[in-house]
Structure 1
Amino acid sequence: MTFGHDMVHSLATVVELVNTSPSTGGDEGLPGLPELAAFIEAREISGIGAVTARDLGQVRIVREVFHRVFTAADQPAAVRTLNALLSDTRITPRLVEHDGHPLHVHYHAADSTLAEHLAADCGVALAHLLVEGEAERLRTCAAPDCDRVFVDESRNRSRVYCDSRTCGNRMHVAAYRARRRA
């Protein structure tokens, strides 16, 4: 499956957002407003003004819903979870060009909150993945001590680690050492 710019960006944003959650085995990645502002800047989320404590709380709620989509037992459970989120989200598709990016679709309403923006744009990207029968691309890292999520964009759907340089390398070295000891 080929992903367009906006879908790649939204999927990467949802992965990065979910991986800020303590539910993925690490520390809280969004402990305060400075970290939320840094996330917005790093992910180039447009049209967001100053963030508030309310934004932080709402984003954390949306983040946990997205985590449940990634960790759903099966596609119907992921669909139910995502549908519940999308039904509470104002979705107003419009074509935009900004910040040097080619023409693409934004799904959030122009006056949406940060949480609504993320729920709409990232939620629709996940919905497209599910509609295309690609739910198996939503994965959790196979490393035993890592619960980070990722989207497997490989052609043959063979990616198993959130990052080949960290978890993948660590697991390959461990397997090599185990074979050497045997």
Structure 2
Amino acid sequence: MVFAHDTEASLLSAVELVNSAEDPDTLTETAQLAEFFVRHVYTGAHTGDTAELAAVRALRAPLRRLLTSDRDTAVALVNDILAEHRAIPQLVCHGEVDYHVHAVPADAPLSVRIAVETAMAMIDLIRTDDLSRLSICADDNCDGLVLDLSRNRSRRYCSTACGNRNAVAAYRARQR
């Protein structure tokens, strides 16, 4: 199944945000948050201050719970997020991006926009019963999340580093 651009973008952003809490923490400075904002093409309010950084960092655990939940739990969490922020989905078009869904105003805090956009993306995964596209990294020493958007669902590692580490370990084990 091919998801809409905004669904994929929101899921990729959420997975990166959750994985930023892994050792080493890659979201500790406002400059890193600014890079995250640009890399994931967020629009709207972005104060870039330490309060915004703290609010976005605080999302990591709740989003991890959402992205690793079973279907029924994910439904409840999505509904809670949308209700808490009074999300009203609307089609918008701005910049280089064609029509897509926003559910909170552009002046909503970045942490709210991330939470709601992730919840909206999870709606697509839940409705298509495709939660298996989200998993935990197959590396025994890593708890990172994996978003598998491949056609054959073959992605097992959260990063190239984890994949390479396991490939080298397997190679060395075969050489023994």
**TM-score of the superposed pair, with normalisation by structure 1:** 0.86
Structure 2 gap segments, 5+ residues each: none
- Change in 2 beyond 3 A, CA 1:32/1:173: closer
Deviation at 1:42, TM superposition (A): 1.6
Q: What's the secondary structure of 1:95's corresponding residue?
A: strand
Aligned-pair Cα RMSD in Å: 1.8
Match of 1:50 among 47, 59, 67: 47
Q: How does 1:40-79 map to 2 (within 5 A)?
A: 40-72=37-69, 74-79=70-75
Q: How does 1:163-174 map to 2 (within 5 A)?
A: 163=159, 165-174=160-169
Q: Which amino acid aligns with 1:86?
A: L
Match of 2:114 among 86, 94, 118: 118
Deviation at 1:29, TM superposition (A): 2.0
Deviation at 1:9, TM superposition (A): 1.0
- Whether the aligned pair in 1 keeps the contact of 2:45 and 2:107 (CA below 8 Å) is no
Partner of 1:20: 20
Q: Which amino acid aligns with 1:55?
A: E
2: CA distance, partners of 1:148 / 1:30:
15
Partner of 1:178: 173
Identity of aligned residues (%): 39
CA deviation string 1:63-95 (max 9, x = no partner): 2111112333x3333333333333312312222
Q: How many matched pairs? A: 176
Deviation at 1:49, TM superposition (A): 3.3
- Whether the aligned pair in 1 keeps the contact of 2:43 and 2:106 (CA below 8 Å) is no
**TM-score of the superposed pair, with normalisation by structure 2:** 0.89
Structure 1 gap segments, 5+ residues each: none
2: CA distance, partners of 1:26 / 1:86:
30
Q: Which moved more, 1:85-94 or 1:38-47?
A: 85-94
Match of 2:95 among 95, 99, 104: 99
Match of 2:140 among 141, 144, 152: 144
2: CA distance, partners of 1:155 / 1:38:
29
Q: Which moved more, 1:100-109 or 1:4-13?
A: 100-109
1: CA distance, partners of 2:147 / 2:79:
19
Task: Please list every run of at least 4 consecutive aligned residues from structure 1 whose deviation after the TM superposition is greater than 6 angstroms.
Answer: none
